[in-house]
A = this chain, B = another copy of it.
Amino acid sequence: MNVAAGPVAILAGSGALPGLIAERLAAAGRPHRILAFRGFAEPALRARADAVVGLLDVKGAVARLDSWRPDCVTLAGGVTRPRAAALLDAYAFLRNRDEIAAVVSGGDDNVLRGVITLLEERGLRLVGVPDIAPELLAEPVVYGARAPSGADRASITAGFALLDAVAPFDIGQAAIVHGRRVLAVEGPEGTDRMLARVRALGGLFLRRERQPGVLVKGPKRGQDLRVDLPAIGPRTIVNAARAGLAGVAVASGLTLVIDRPATVAAADRAGLFLVGIPPRDRMESS
């Protein structure tokens, strides 16, 4: 099994990522097949997919993978967490019902671990963007025209320390910090909704304060980056600007920047900084 060069199966959910990965693999001359999830994968991708299945058609998906025999599989793009009952039904033919129920009642990490185990038991190796398309990850650099100020750097440090503190609780891919005040910790609602919340807070009492907040984003400690990679894109920047933030800081090497040119252009247009923070600058406690 050769992760660096063998054929890859892309299980494609929503968003631009599955297409970006396919592009990278095509550019590298690496064989790949696309299994698109109906109702999630974008139309353009679905049109060039090798197969299209329902998210809960586990049997159909497994049959395709069994016939394609890829070296490795990657899960890319978004899917909505299905209801527990639907998951139970879908996986029932493969697994003991109680065992699945135990997986489903845990955190998102648990569901993912269950899927990984299922794949690996069938001899399929799960890989992620860091393995097959690391060029898509943030680098430890200041992107665009604006750099974080000293105060922004302090907010960034406090933000990553906070994410570290909540990591054991299976939350906290992102937070918004404003000076020494934490304005939001991301829950299952996702980054865009968290930004909308802080935008609403701004109306309450943040308006006109001198130091705007900063969005920090990175993986949770122990997060499996093959299946759950933090990501930002142009929409993140636009929403951060609407929330009145000074900029966005992501963990370099561990965070996807979807459509980098458009993301950097959005930051420049809005006057926000966008910076990749290397591990050495993410570990201090506040």
Interface check A93, CB cutoff 8 A: no
Q: Judging by beta carbons under 8 Å apart, are B158 and A162 in contact?
A: no
Cα A285 to Cα B168 with chains together (Å): 10
Instruction: Annotate A64-100 by CB proximity to B: 1 below 8 A, 0 otherwise.
Output: 0000000000000000111111000000000000000
Q: Judging by beta carbons under 8 Å apart, are A189 and B197 in contact?
A: yes
A286 and B169 contact, Cβ closer than 8 Å, known pairs A183-B188, A185-B187, A197-B197:
yes
Interface check A108, CB cutoff 8 A: yes
Q: Judging by beta carbons under 8 Å apart, are A183 and B179 in contact?
A: no
A119 to chain B, nearest CB (A): 22
What are 23 contact pairs spanning A and B, CB under 8 A? Answer: A83-B208, A83-B209, A105-B179, A105-B180, A105-B209, A106-B180, A107-B181, A108-B181, A165-B168, A166-B166, A166-B182, A166-B185, A170-B180, A170-B182, A171-B185, A182-B187, A184-B187, A185-B185, A185-B187, A187-B197, A188-B204, A188-B205, A193-B197
Q: Judging by beta carbons under 8 Å apart, are B205 and A80 in contact?
A: yes
A201 and B189 contact, Cβ closer than 8 Å, known pairs A166-B165, A207-B83:
yes
Query: Which A positions have Cβ atoms within 8 angstroms of B?
Result: 80-85, 105-108, 110, 158, 161-162, 165-166, 168-171, 179-185, 187-189, 193, 197, 200-201, 204-205, 207-211, 285-286
Q: Judging by beta carbons under 8 Å apart, are A106 and B181 in contact?
A: yes
CB nearest to A182 among chain B residues: B171
Cα A184 to Cα B209 with chains together (Å): 26
Assembly stoichiometry (copies) = 2
A231 to chain B, nearest CB (A): 18
Q: Judging by beta carbons under 8 Å apart, are B165 and A84 in contact?
A: no
Residues of B within 8 A of A184 (CB): 187, 189
Cα A83 to Cα B209 with chains together (Å): 7
Cα A89 to Cα B106 with chains together (Å): 51
Residues of B within 8 A of A201 (CB): 187-189
Residues of B within 8 A of A210 (CB): 84, 105
